[in-house]
Amino acid sequence: MKKLFIYGVFVFFTTVLLHSCKTSTIRVTPMGELNMISTRNINKAEDYQSLKTYAGVSSTDVNNALSESKNRLIKKKHRIFKEIMKYKGKTLNEAVDNVVKSQVGGEYLMNARFFLVEISEKKGDNLQESSKFQYVLSGDVWGTKSVNNEIQGFRLDDKVIFTYTRALKKAMNGNKNFEEGEINKQYEGKIVGLSGADATIRLENGSVVDIPYNMLRKIE
């Protein structure tokens, strides 16, 4: 009877494991190189400086991974997988911002390389596959240097809160990543980028928005 019980437990957990089994791979395709790319207006009067070279996903590591792979497929256990997943964006704009905003004061990319990323997952007993396409970039981040990595009292990783007022909506100029915003509702997030006029906030739902400093409040 005891052996039967142990066997039953083994079968149960094996079944659960099979049903929850999920394998992931990413297919990376080089798409091109650009001398400069930006999602923001560049102020010609500003004294921009090089803040970091080879920021974002290492294009050298990506190329090495592709040369070691079959059919441009990179498996989850490869060291570059986590880096790609960190910087990927649903749109090219979002992918650019993920690299630019990784540096305080970042405004645009020089010597940029971008890749199309197909993320595939196989789930369940029949290992049914689903795929989605995203972008990832590498390049040199240019922008403005701030004293002590702080702008108007805000630093990277600060937790903040703001109210989505009509004035803020107008200031954001119809940010497409915030179409779900409700007027007079409060939102919380974390600062992932600092620039001269705005802080870039990653909200709890994953959306990334630029908010003027005077409309933000720190959460202690």
The residues spanned by each domain of the chain are: 23-146, 153-218
Alpha helix ranges (H) inside 58-131 = 59-68, 79-87, 92-100
Tell me what pLDDT residue 144 has: 81
Question: Region 119-127: what's the mean pLDDT?
Answer: 66
Residue with more model confidence, 145 or 53: 53
The full DSSP string for 110-163 is EEEEEEEEEEEEEETTTTEEEEEEEEEEEEEEEE---GGGEETTEETT-EEEEE
- Out of 33-37, 38-42, 191-195, pick the least confident: 191-195
Reply yes or no on whether the pLDDT at 13 is more than 60.
no
More reliable by pLDDT, 39 or 176: 39
> Averaging pLDDT over each range in 76-90, 115-129, 130-144, which range is the top one?
130-144
Flag whether pLDDT at 52 surpasses 80: yes
Residue 18 identity (one-letter amino acid): L
Domain 153-218, architecture per CATH: Roll (2.30)
- Gap between the Cα atoms of 93 and 21, Å rounded: 33
Our separate counts of H helices and E strands in the chain read: 5, 12
Phi, psi of 8 (to 5 degrees): -65, -40
pLDDT at 180 over 90: no
Proportion of the chain above pLDDT 90, given as a percent: 21
User: Of 50, 48, 53, 74, which Cα lies nearest the Cα of 63?
Assistant: 74
pTM (global) more than 0.85: no
Question: What does pLDDT average to over the chain?
Answer: 79
**119 is written with which tokens?**
């993320």
pLDDT of residue 102: 78
pLDDT at residue 161, rounded to an integer:
95
Q: Across residues 113-126, what is the average pLDDT?
A: 78
**Does residue 136 surpass a pLDDT of 80?**
yes
> Can you tell me the distance from the alpha carbon of 168 to that of 212, in angstroms, rounded to the nearest whole number?
8
